Every structure is written in C-alpha cells, then in structure tokens.
Chain A
C-alpha cells in the first residue's frame, strides 16, 4: 500500500507525521518526495546504498569564438534569457529554460547545451526499513520528474525486500511535484493547520486530490492553537464529505524529538500524541 502525506503549504507538520507513521509499524519504505527540501534523512540518517545522478534539465552556453553577434538567438528565446550586455551576447543561467531552440537556430553553431547534473537520488537503509529520497540542486527545475524517479525506486525497493507499506512524504504546493506524488497512490493524507491560510490552502489541495478521484483524509495539526478555526475546518470537511482522521495538539515535544533525531513515536511512545497518531494511522489504513 502506498500512502502519500501532503499539504498545501509547508511547515504544517507533514514530515513529522510521515516520520511517526514510518516508525509505527515494523518495516516500511519511506520515500521523501519533497525534493526541493528533503528533510527526513535528518531524523533517520539512512546509510546510502545507491546514488544516482538526476539530470534536472539543460542550460545554454555561448562559444564566443564562434558567435558572430547576429542577434538571432535573442529574438527566438521566449524566456528572455538572452540579452546583450556590454556588446556581448549573454545567456542568463537563471532564466534559461533549456528548450534547445537557440542552439538549433544559431547559424554559427555557437550555442551548446550543458546538462544540469547536480541533483541526486539516494536510496538506502534506515533503522526501520528502506529509505529513498531526492535532492534537487538549487536552481534546478523539473522536480516532478525527480519525484517520479523517487517513487519508482521506492516501489522497486519494496518489491525486492517484500515490504508492503510505502510512505511518501510529499512536497508542498499544488503544482507538478504534488501531482507526481499522488498519482496512483492508495491513500492521500492532507495535513492542515487551524489558521485562515491553513484552511485556504487545504481547500486548494483537496481540489487537486479530487481530480484524481481520491478521497483524502485530513489531519488537523496543532488544533489547540485555534479551536474555533479547527471547528471551521471540521465543518467544511463535513459539508464536503471529507473525513477528518484526527487532531494533533501543539506540543514542544515534537521539536524536542526532532532535535534528538527521533520520530515522536520513538521519543515517547506512551505520550498522548503518539497514541493519537497510532489511532489515526489505523483509521487511515483500515477504512
């Protein structure tokens, strides 16, 4: 079974909950799909068994020995990446989308494409099973594809090791990486916070999940920071026939566990919050 844990906005506690789920059962494959800011390895310190280069796109580079300054490339580039700076044709690395058009039209063959090869995918073992995660190098795009690579690897590892449960810690947002994360999973959990922006982001996220014909579970994290807002979220869910899997309180224990590089379950198995997480997990798995 594949469970994806997502949230419209970052910092709602997605990774903390993924870490808790991953330590509630015996043996799991944990995949960190938040390739922009992979974090779970900080808690579980996995031993790398495999490292793969991920090509996150291309960048155009000019060979000035060949360039005749005709300016053709400037007029063709739709990403405003090519300009003249001090009488020299210049390509902005941050604006180039890597579409190859300039290199194809340049009459002097003066433009080469180089690969972005700083991004990586890692897979290995941690104390409770296997772990797969991606790290997108700063400025490299196409994180949706890296997410797909992470998920494929996670499935393969699960099969090879006879592991039944795959937990996906998803990226924030509503774009391509989230869609890559939830396509074809069995269950989706949306983590939200009781705040005006929390509710707003949750609604946008529910909308995406519904497009995939999935019925998400909601977890309201830090519910006690604003009981009134928690009730509003609950009512909204009721109205839209979405089930709330449970409520987690705000507690500094969560931060303490993280500092000790532990999931909350490992840090204090008998705490209220650990028990609640156990109940939530069972609800999600069995219903």
Chain B
C-alpha cells in the first residue's frame, strides 16, 4: 500500500483537480484506490463523483464544565489554561469556560483540587465515508464552521482510511501549517502542485522548506504550464527537485473542471499520463510502510 498526498502551498493551484483525476486514473486501470479529502475547511472531492454516503462519524473534543457549587474560585484552572479559555472573577464569584478558545487539553481538570470540573463532548466536525461503485473509496473530513483547527478532524479521517487499498490518495489542505503537516506526515510521498506564477512560486518554496524539515520525499507537478514565467523551472533545477509532470494550460480543462467533471474522462491522455506518473513514483518510493 502506498499513501500519496497531493498538496500545494496555496489553494486554487489545481490540487483537488490532480487528486481526483489521479484517483480516477487508478480506478480506471483496475488498481484499488481510496481518496481521502483532508481539506476539512472546504472539502470538495465528492462533487466530482457519483457517491453515496454510507457512514458519518462525529469527531468531538472534550470541553470542561465547571460546577459553581463546588468551585472555590481559587483560580488554579485559569492559571493552568495556556489558551485563556477560562474567565474568572473571584470577588463576584464568576467563572466561565470560553468554549471557542478551549483546545481540550485537560489541564484545568488536573489542576482543580476541588473536583469542580467535569467534561462534556463538543462536536468539531465529521468524517464521512462514501460508496463508489459498491466499495467505500472516498473518505471526507468536514470541519464545523468556526472551529479553531481542523487537525483533529483530519486525523480522524486519516485513521479511518487505513485499509487494504493499493493506493491511498490524500487531498491535502492548503497552506503550510499544522493541517498540511499532519496530512503530509501520514503520506509516503507528497506531490506538490504549483503554477508558474510569482504567488505560487513563493508558496511552493514555503512548502518545500516544510517538507524538507519533516524529511518527506516529494516531487512537483506544474499546472497551467505556459502561463506566467520560468522562475519555477530554474528553481526546481537548482534545488534538484523532481519535476513529475507538466499540465499545459488549456482553457477547456478549466471549463470541464468547473462543471464538476473528471477531466481525464474526456481528455484520456491525462488518464494515461497520471497513471504512468504514479507507477513511476511507486517504483521509486513505493511499499514503505508508513504506520501513521
């Protein structure tokens, strides 16, 4: 089994386009594949397939509940909370948990010596499992609006995906912060999707820096090749980063994609190119057993 994450420093470079089309190409070539949409803030992958929801697991977090009867207003929980999630005014006997700020670390519960704190569960989002052609092959992390961080929901989705499929394709969240790192850590190989424009170039450099830091093998796909300038290519050569593939800018691709179609279905050359690319990655980096 091999896990491949499709990522990009910035949104809109074609990450979901590449992820869904690689997934399609693998299925089309009779390889067992699973797609995990880790972009929990804006999951979109299901829009491209005819899927049925079979399971929806709630992902929750523990949040403290303070009993005003038992509380002595000593303030220790407030001192121990590193996220300023406990508001306390001892003179007027007011103590309150600001749930939006709470990370569920449990420090306040340990701090309280008067058994005044219990915990309840608060929903952060869902992990949805979808059937495609009779098999569960699409997992989606979907965060609730306004939640502090999508990381817990992403982690839950990654756990859910541990199956027997030959390939697990992870559609990573954008950016280079924790959500991206959590997804990349779970992968054996990362494909960075970029565009030959200054914005994308700057984001690419940041993603590369992050992946080097966590020692993850990666390569680059240049999408919309032909637009912009050549800076990206000089950089890849200088840094000895593997250029996995180039997708030429084609307004028809943008049009097909916008209607929610799998572009490789119409443009079969893409299916062949993507499949060959994955086979090549597999030969170079495959069959490591990432246990995360």
Chain A contact residues, CB within 8 Å of chain B? 8-12, 15, 36-37, 39, 42-43, 58, 76, 78-79, 94, 97-101, 104-105, 136, 138-141, 143-144, 172-176, 179, 193-198, 200-201, 204, 207-208, 211, 222, 225-226, 228-229, 250, 252, 255, 258-259, 261
Size category, B interface: 35 or more
Instruction: State how many angstroms separate the Cβ of B235 from the closest Cβ of chain A.
Output: 14
Instruction: State how many angstroms separate the Cβ of A209 from the closest Cβ of chain B.
Output: 11
Docked complex Cα distance between A136 and B210 (Å): 12
Residues of chain A within 8 A of B213, CB atoms compared: 138-139
Residues of chain A within 8 A of B96, CB atoms compared: none
Chain B contact residues, CB within 8 Å of chain A? 9-13, 16, 41-42, 44, 47-48, 62, 80, 82-83, 103-107, 110-111, 143, 145-150, 174-178, 181-182, 185, 197-199, 202-203, 206, 209-210, 213-214, 227-229, 251, 254-255, 257-260
Contacts A139-B213, A175-B147 hold; do A200 and B174 have CB atoms under 8 A apart? no
Docked complex Cα distance between A261 and B201 (Å): 13
Contacts A39-B202, A101-B110 hold; do A201 and B227 have CB atoms under 8 A apart? no
Residues of chain B within 8 A of A136, CB atoms compared: 177
Residues of chain A within 8 A of B258, CB atoms compared: 193-196, 198, 225-226, 229
Residues of chain A within 8 A of B147, CB atoms compared: 175-176
Residues of chain B within 8 A of A198, CB atoms compared: 258
> Are B42 and A250 in contact, with the CB atoms below 8 A?
no
Partner of A99, one of B105, B149, B203: B105
Residues of chain A within 8 A of B111, CB atoms compared: 104
Instruction: State how many angstroms separate the Cβ of B47 from the closest Cβ of chain A.
Output: 5
> Are A138 and B146 in contact, with the CB atoms below 8 A?
no
Closest 7 A/B residue pairs (Cβ): A11-B12, A10-B11, A99-B105, A195-B258, A196-B260, A197-B44, A173-B41
Q: Across the two chains, which residue of chain B brings its CB closest to A95?
A: B182
Q: Across the two chains, which residue of chain B brings its CB closest to A38?
A: B202
Partner of A175, one of B48, B83, B143, B260: B143
Residues of chain B within 8 A of A195, CB atoms compared: 257-260
Docked complex Cα distance between A139 and B111 (Å): 29
Residues of chain B within 8 A of A101, CB atoms compared: 80, 105-107, 110
Docked complex Cα distance between A10 and B41 (Å): 11
Partner of A37, one of B198, B206, B209, B228: B206
Contacts A9-B42, A139-B176 hold; do A255 and B228 have CB atoms under 8 A apart? yes
Residues of chain A within 8 A of B228, CB atoms compared: 255, 258-259
> Are B10 and A197 in contact, with the CB atoms below 8 A?
no
> Are A172 and B148 in contact, with the CB atoms below 8 A?
no
Contacts A37-B206, A255-B197 hold; do A79 and B105 have CB atoms under 8 A apart? yes
Docked complex Cα distance between A236 and B2 (Å): 41
Instruction: State how many angstroms separate the Cβ of A43 from the closest Cβ of chain B.
Output: 8
